[in-house]
Amino acid sequence: MSDRYAVVGNPIAHSLSPHIHCAFAEQTGEDLLYSKLLAPLDAFAECARTFFTEGGCGLNITLPFKLEALDLADQLTDRAAAAGAVNTLLCQEDGRLLGDNTDGAGLVADLCRNLGWGIRDKRVLLIGAGGAARGALLPLLAEQPAHLHLANRTAIKAEQLADDFSRYGDLSGGGLQGLRSRFDLVINATAASLDNTLPTLPEQLFTAGGKAYDMVYAAGPTPFVHWARTQGVPASDGLGMLVGQAAESFYLWRGVYPQVAPVLTQLRRELGKKKN
């Protein structure tokens, strides 16, 4: 019988994860089944436990259950503990659940490998202070940027987060209003693009050669991607991060690292078709 995996969330119908993992399985010859699980908002733990009791091998966890998945895990990877959230669960041989967070690694892989935008010695601005920003901090700092500044609409949250992670690198935090420096890489980790809005940002934000990245992805340019491109700044959405985090989960589960580029190209093509 094939090994079983799934993505659990609420809502879940929109999830591209089954498509991505089936493509990885086909590409690597791994024998697995991957499905979507809609968990009731008040019954994530029950739903996940039933999946594993019935022989499931691993789960991806999406909104709004990443914090509950942290509580469910018996053991955490360092990056999941630092992120304070779990997006991947692995049922180990002894039945204990290992919780991981692959979002930040997926982001860094997309920036450095797919896009070829180095982080080392760069001045990086991370906008947002929610779960996605928190998960990205450790992997970003591991790339040794010259400086990482965290800016959030609610300034105190960015200041607190910068404080929490200050031992890992050169990090500062503040509000969106006080932004005066220029940055080589600006990453939008807010949910603003989901509402078709843009965080309030100054125009003079990019160095010459600066780049912009939105964690949100869409069939067309997100508001943030559009805003950056109108200033002549190369910009990418977060589809590659989605495929990258999936590749990291696949590696944790199967011990095989799939090729991201062909799956990303195929997904981009399909999203484009939906738009037209």
Nearer to ligand NAP, 3 or 130 (CB): 130
199 is a site residue for ligand NAP (CB under 6 A): yes
Taking the complex as a whole, the smallest distance from the CB of residue 67 to ligand NAP amounts, in Å, to: 10
Taking the complex as a whole, the smallest distance from the CB of residue 254 to ligand NAP amounts, in Å, to: 20
Helix, strand, coil percentages for the chain (3-state, nearest 5): 40, 20, 35
Nearer to ligand NAP, 97 or 241 (CB): 241
Site string for ligand NAP, 55-94 (x = CB under 6 A): ----------------------------------------
Please give the residues from 91 up to 110 whose contact with ligand NAP meets the rule CB under 6 A. 103, 106
Cα 128 to Cα 18: distance, rounded to the nearest angstrom: 28
Strand, helix or coil at 79? helix
String of DSSP letters for 114-137: IS----TT-EEEEE--SHHHHHHH
Cα 41 to Cα 130: distance, rounded to the nearest angstrom: 20
- Give the single-character DSSP code of 52: H
130 is a site residue for ligand NAP (CB under 6 A): yes
Site string for ligand NAP, 214-243 (x = CB under 6 A): -xxx--------------------x--xx-
Nearer to ligand NAP, 38 or 63 (CB): 63
Closest CA to 147 of 199, 184, 187: 184
Q: What are 142's two structure tokens?
A: 């591991």
Please give the residues from 138 up to 157 whose contact with ligand NAP meets the rule CB under 6 A. 152-154, 157
With CB atoms as reference, the residue minimizing the distance to ligand NAP is 130
Cα 84 to Cα 161: distance, rounded to the nearest angstrom: 12
Closest CA to 227 of 243, 216, 242: 216
Nearer to ligand NAP, 58 or 240 (CB): 240
For CA atoms 48, 51, 53, 58, the dihedral sign is: negative
Taking the complex as a whole, the smallest distance from the CB of residue 4 to ligand NAP amounts, in Å, to: 23
Please give the residues from 159 up to 178 whose contact with ligand NAP meets the rule CB under 6 A. none
Annotated catalytic residue: which of 66, 122, 157, 211? Answer: 66
Q: What are 189's two structure tokens?
A: 């980790």
205 is a site residue for ligand NAP (CB under 6 A): no
CB atoms < 10 A from the CB of 155, how many? 17
Instruction: Evaluate whether 247 touches 108 at the Cβ level (below 8 Å).
Output: no
Taking the complex as a whole, the smallest distance from the CB of residue 252 to ligand NAP amounts, in Å, to: 16
122 catalytically annotated: no
Strand, helix or coil at 157? helix
Catalytic residues, by residue number, are: 66
**Contacting residues toward ligand NAP, per CB under 6 A:** 103, 106, 128-133, 152-154, 157, 189-192, 194, 197, 199, 215-217, 238, 241-242, 245
